[in-house]
Amino acid sequence: MSVLKVARIGHPVVRAAARELTPDEIRSPEIQRLIDDMRVTMYEYEGVGLAAPQIHESLRLAVLEVPGSDKRAEEGVPGPHGGTGVPFTVLVNPKVTPLGPETVEGWEGCLSIPDLRGLVPRFARLRLEALDREGKPYTVEAEGFHARVIQHECDHLEGNVYLDRMRDMRTLSFIKELHDYVLGGREEGEEEEHE
């Protein structure tokens, strides 16, 4: 397995709409290896999600994992699921349906936009329909931080990044300044996400 080079904004692949994968393609050794490489790349850069366009592959494929110990999982997550981790998940050809109109704001970052964080509104609850790494369809309902990560990654497949979703560009901050002046003494990592 290898750590892949991450594409940053300005590279056209980050802004392109990605194409779907067929079940046969998903099961191919090339895509299976790509999924493994995306997993180690996400770990290497301490992300909680990674979409294929971010590693120069314009495919409707993303991975995510939120460690149970990750402080980011507590951010903006009301209710009993706060703080619960999300296991490693592969999303192929994902479709997101919001469950209700409620949105929540939370801090997001992105491996394709290094060192920055911004406040982003996202649907609080959603249904995700996707294929897994065997090409099998699955459906999950997600809320809070889990729902936020799913929306962030699925945006990448359309060529969108979190900057496009921000309501107030004046919240855009470097990580250090965010902690020094905005969050004021909160623990490192408590209010951010990095996808």
Which residues are annotated as catalytic? Answer: 153
Q: Which is nearer to Ni ion, 110 or 157 (CB)?
A: 110
Rounded least distance, CB 117 to Ni ion, Å:
12
Nearest residue to 92 via CA among 42, 53, 131, 128: 131
In this structure, what token pair is assigned to residue 60?
Answer: 């409707």
Can you tell me whether residue 83 is helix, strand or coil?
Answer: coil
| Structural contact between residues 139 and 195, judged by C-beta atoms closer than 8 angstroms | no
Task: Tell me the residue number closest to Ni ion, measured at CB.
Answer: 110
Q: Which is nearer to Ni ion, 135 or 189 (CB)?
A: 189
Instruction: Give the total of residues touching Ni ion (CB under 5 A).
Output: 2
List 4, 52, 77, 110, residue binding Ni ion (CB under 5 A): 110
| Structural contact between residues 126 and 146, judged by C-beta atoms closer than 8 angstroms | no
Q: Which is nearer to Ni ion, 135 or 160 (CB)?
A: 160
Nearest residue to 129 via CA among 91, 81, 87: 91
Q: Alpha carbon 193 to chain centroid distance?
A: 8
195 binds Ni ion (CB under 5 A): yes
Rounded least distance, CB 150 to Ni ion, Å:
12
Rounded least distance, CB 77 to Ni ion, Å:
19
Where do contacts with Ni ion occur on this chain (CB under 5 A)?
Answer: 110, 195
